[in-house]
Amino acid sequence: MSYELPHTPHLTPHTSYRFLLSAFCFLLFLNCNAQTDSTKVKYHNPKTASWLALIPGAGQIYNKKYWKLPIVYGGLGATTYLIYRFQKETSLYKKEFLARSDYNDNKENSDFIDKRNPELEDRQDAYILQQRDINRRNMEISIAACTIVYFLSILDASVDAHLYYYDVSDNLAIGIKPKINMDNSFGTPTPCLALVLKF
C-alpha cells in the first residue's frame, strides 16, 4: 500500500511577487491607521477623572499630575497607619480594663484565669481608662483625616480635569497702568488707573 502526498502547487515568481505586494500593502495600511489614531486629539473628560479618582491616585494619573501621587499615597498611608496604631492601643487598654474588672469580680474563684497585662500592673484604673479614651479619640481623628485626604484627592482630580485646557502660559498677564481719559463734556484730561489684560 502506497501513500501519496497531496499535490502542492509550487510558488512561481509571479505568485511570490503577489504575496510580497499583498504583505507590503497590509503593513502600509496598518502603519497608516496607527498614524491617524495617534494624531487624533483625545478629549480630557472631567467626569472620567472624577470616577477614576475613586481609586486613590488614579485621577491624578489620568490628569498626568504624577508629582501629586506621593502626596496622596503619603497622606493615606500615614493616616491609615495612625488608625491601626491607635486602634491597637485602644484595644490594649480596653482589654486591660475588662481583665481588671473580671479579676475584681472573680479573684476568690480558684478556676479563674488572670488575664491582666503584667506590663500595666503598676498603673491605676483611672490611667487605663484615660489612655483608652485618648487613643480612641486619636483613632477617630485619624479616621476623619484619612477620609478628608481621600475626598480631597477626588476633588483635586476633578478640579484638575476641569482646568486641564486652561491656558496658563507666559502670554497671560494682568496689570494696572496709568491712563489719561478725556472728559467728553469739558474736554479736560482726567488721570486714572486702567486694569490691563494681555492674552
**What confidence score (pLDDT) does residue 116 get?**
74
Structure confidence at residue 11 as a pLDDT band (50, 70, 90): very low
The whole-angstrom distance between residue 45's C-alpha and the CA centroid of its chain comes to: 16
Please check the confidence at residue 41 and state whether its pLDDT lies above 70: no
In the prediction, which pLDDT does 18 show? Answer: 60
- At residue 25, the pLDDT reads 52
Helix (H, G, I), strand (E, B) or coil at 193: strand
Report how many helices (DSSP H) and strands (DSSP E) the chain contains, helices first: 5, 2
Using alpha carbons, list the distances in angstroms from residue 122 to 116, 118, 125, 128: 11, 8, 10, 11
Q: With 80 as the cut, is the pLDDT of residue 26 above it?
A: no
pTM of the model: 0.60
Q: Who wins on pLDDT, 119 or 184?
A: 119
The confidence score (pLDDT) of residue 179 equals 79
Torsion-angle region of residue 182: left (phi > 0), alpha (psi -120 to 50) or beta? Answer: beta
d(CA 126, CA 121): 13
Q: What is the pLDDT of residues 73-119, one digit of tens each?
A: 999 999 999 999 999 999 998 888 888 877 776 666 666 666 777 77
Looking at residue 35, what is its pLDDT?
45
Residues comprising the chain, all counted: 199
Does the pLDDT value for residue 27 go beyond 50? no
Query: 13 pLDDT exceeds 80?
Result: no
- 31 pLDDT higher than 70: no
Span 137-153, average pLDDT: 96
Q: Where are the domains of the chain?
A: 46-165
